[in-house]
């Protein structure tokens, strides 16, 4: 893999580590807080209510992201990518530190739960701003022939963050054991990963301020979008947004079954430490898979990649999940292999979504389109725990994820089918020209016909 061009390296690193810090904070409740869940829960809570409470704390962050994308996407398009990224990093850094200082249910009752959910929602708002600005800035610095790979490099921040927080939690649990109320991890140990996450965000905001230049594409733009949100939600841009929304709804629906539900299923089969190790290995493998997926999308195109991913998610992921949930595989090694395969099949889709959505919208609305397209699709899938409880009235609870995995795969394939190919789009082109190029293959299930002519800004991109 060749090194990025000199002027693209720091924006690329800024976006990659920014996403790492972002996802580190996102997974704190699922990984670090889970062993100390009793700290925030009533003594007499039922298993079903506890599952829903855990899901709500996780979903609060996801639900805050669309609002963050709305606020910071517009700010990024109007005032610049760099300033927006710095603001969001500082915001979720301070919010995460505030969560680390929260009292528990035994001290303040329901106020503890409400405060946790509200702070996680606020966290989500700021988290929704980080990638909304940093990823477009990085890819606007990148040569077109490398965008698939560079977008995947940015997205490796997610599995790397998961591995880090899981390993930190394992080490802490060895040093400060968890159990009932009053045990060291439940009392104060869980706060350490939150403090680390908050300080990482603040430190990275400072690094970003000192090292990353504003996007040249944004600086050289013409005043095409005086009102980015208004322009996004009308005409061809609205059709493009709805197409992206469909694809991302499938991505999030399938991912929640693996990212949030699968760890709980595995813990019923294996010790917690073994489950954590398996997931660390799976997400470490995912880093390499992301790079391969990004390169593949550059070779065959974004649209064929998503069609393949949709088919694999629909057919393979329910089978793999069924093998685990029904106990058709046993023993740590066999379960680990199936888990790794399941994670790779479902989560590899994320390697290309950032590049694809950024390519779908012109400069004047790019951050708004990317941020909202990526995050508004989170809302309906975020309530997966309630859907599972409903489906459990007509089928075994442990098999309900199979429905959502298959449904997610179908939505991914549908979203890709009705959308255009974007691999050759010029990110520096005037809005009218870029929209025309996309529309020539959009919403009809056909790829773009031929390679677009080199447009304004593309020549300099190829020279990088």
Number of domains in the chain: 1
Instruction: Give me the pLDDT at residue 141, please.
Output: 86
Instruction: Give me the pLDDT at residue 462, please.
Output: 37
**pLDDT for residue 312 is more than 80:** yes
**pLDDT for residue 72 is more than 70:** yes
- 220 is a domain residue: no
Mean pLDDT of all residues in 444-453: 37
- 456 is a domain residue: no
- 25 is a domain residue: yes
Instruction: Give me the pLDDT at residue 464, please.
Output: 37
Instruction: Give me the pLDDT at residue 294, please.
Output: 97
Q: Using the 8-state DSSP alphabet, how is residue 463 labeled? A: T
Condensed to tens digits (0 to 9), the pLDDT of residues 202-248 reads 999 999 999 988 888 887 775 555 677 888 888 889 999 999 999 99
Instruction: Give me the pLDDT at residue 196, please.
Output: 95
Mean pLDDT of all residues in 379-389: 87
**The residue to which tokens 């805050």 are assigned:** 64
Closest CA to 461 of 131, 217, 153: 217
Instruction: Give me the pLDDT at residue 2, please.
Output: 55
Question: Which residue segment(s) compose the domain that 399 sits in?
Answer: 10-215+226-445
- 102 is a domain residue: yes
Exposure letters 423-434 (e unless 16+ CB within 10 A, then b): bbbbbbbbbeeb
SS3 content of the chain, % helix, strand, coil (to 5): 80, 0, 20
Among residues of the chain, what percentage have pLDDT more than 90?
Answer: 54
Mean pLDDT check: name the lowest of 19-23, 49-53, 132-136. 49-53
Among residues of the chain, what percentage have pLDDT more than 70?
Answer: 89
How many whole angstroms separate alpha carbon 323 and alpha carbon 50? 25
- 121 is a domain residue: yes
CATH code where residue 45 lies: 1.20.1250.20
Condensed to tens digits (0 to 9), the pLDDT of residues 246-294 reads 999 999 999 999 988 998 899 899 988 899 899 999 999 999 999 999 9
- 2 is a domain residue: no
Residue 362: both structure tokens together: 């012109």
Strands (E), 165-314: none
CB 65 within 8 A of CB 130: no
pLDDT band at 448 (very low <50, low <70, confident <90, very high): very low
CB 142 within 8 A of CB 355: no
**The residue to which tokens 């080199």 are assigned:** 454
How many whole angstroms separate alpha carbon 326 and alpha carbon 140? 47
Phi, psi of 4, deg, nearest 5: -65, 150
- 191 is a domain residue: yes
- 457 is a domain residue: no
Mean pLDDT of all residues in 132-156: 91
Mean pLDDT of all residues in 64-89: 88
How many whole angstroms separate alpha carbon 139 and alpha carbon 375? 19
Task: From residue 96, give the alpha-carbon distance in Å to each of 38, 100, 402.
Answer: 20, 7, 33
């Amino acid at each position: 893999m060749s090194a990025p061009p000199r002027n693209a390296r720091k924006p690329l690193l800024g976006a990659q580590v920014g996403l790492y810090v972002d996802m580190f904070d996102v997974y704190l409740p699922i990984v670090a807080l889970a062993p100390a869940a009793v700290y925030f829960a009533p003594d007499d809570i039922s298993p079903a209510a506890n599952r829903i409470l855990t899901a709500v704390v996780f979903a609060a962050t996801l639900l805050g992201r669309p609002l963050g994308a709305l606020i910071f996407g517009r700010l990024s398009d109007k005032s610049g990518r760099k300033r927006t990224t710095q603001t969001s990093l500082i915001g979720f850094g301070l919010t995460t530190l505030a969560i680390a200082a929260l009292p528990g249910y035994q001290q303040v009752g329901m106020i503890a739960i409400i405060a946790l959910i509200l702070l996680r929602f606020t966290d989500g708002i700021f988290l929704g701003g980080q990638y909304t600005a940093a990823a477009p800035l990085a890819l606007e610095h990148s040569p077109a022939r490398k965008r698939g790979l560079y977008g995947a490099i940015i997205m490796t921040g997610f599995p790397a963050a998961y591995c880090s927080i899981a390993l930190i939690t394992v080490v802490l649990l060895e040093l400060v054991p968890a159990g009932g109320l009053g045990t060291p991890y439940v009392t104060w140990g869980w706060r350490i990963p939150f403090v680390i996450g908050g300080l990482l965000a603040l430190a990275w905001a400072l690094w970003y301020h000192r090292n990353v230049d504003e996007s040249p594409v944004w600086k050289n733009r013409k005043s095409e979008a005086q009102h980015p949100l208004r322009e996004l939600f009308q005409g061809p841009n609205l059709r493009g947004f709805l197409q992206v929304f469909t694809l991302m709804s499938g991505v999030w629906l399938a991912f929640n079954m693996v990212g949030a539900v699968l760890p709980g299923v595995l813990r019923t089969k294996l010790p917690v430490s073994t489950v954590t190790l398996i997931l660390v290995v799976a997400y470490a493998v995912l880093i390499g898979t992301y790079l391969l997926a990004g390169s593949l999308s550059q070779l065959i195109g974004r649209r064929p990649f998503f069609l393949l991913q949709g088919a694999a998610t629909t057919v393979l992921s329910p089978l793999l999940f069924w093998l685990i949930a029904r106990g058709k595989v046993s023993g740590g090694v066999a379960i680990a292999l199936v888990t790794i395969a399941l994670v790779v099949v479902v989560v590899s889709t994320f390697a290309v979504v950032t590049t694809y959505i950024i390519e779908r919208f012109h400069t004047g609305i790019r951050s708004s389109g990317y941020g909202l397209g990526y995050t508004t699709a989170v809302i309906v899938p975020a309530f997966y725990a309630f859907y599972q409880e409903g489906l459990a009235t007509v089928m075994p609870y442990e098999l309900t994820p199979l429905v959502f995995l298959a449904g997610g795969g179908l939505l991914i394939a549908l979203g890709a089918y009705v959308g255009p190919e974007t691999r050759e789009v010029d990110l520096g082109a005037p809005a009218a020209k870029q929209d025309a190029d996309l529309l020539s293959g959009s919403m009809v299930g056909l790829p773009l016909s031929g390679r677009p002519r080199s447009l304004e800004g593309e020549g300099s991109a190829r020279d990088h």
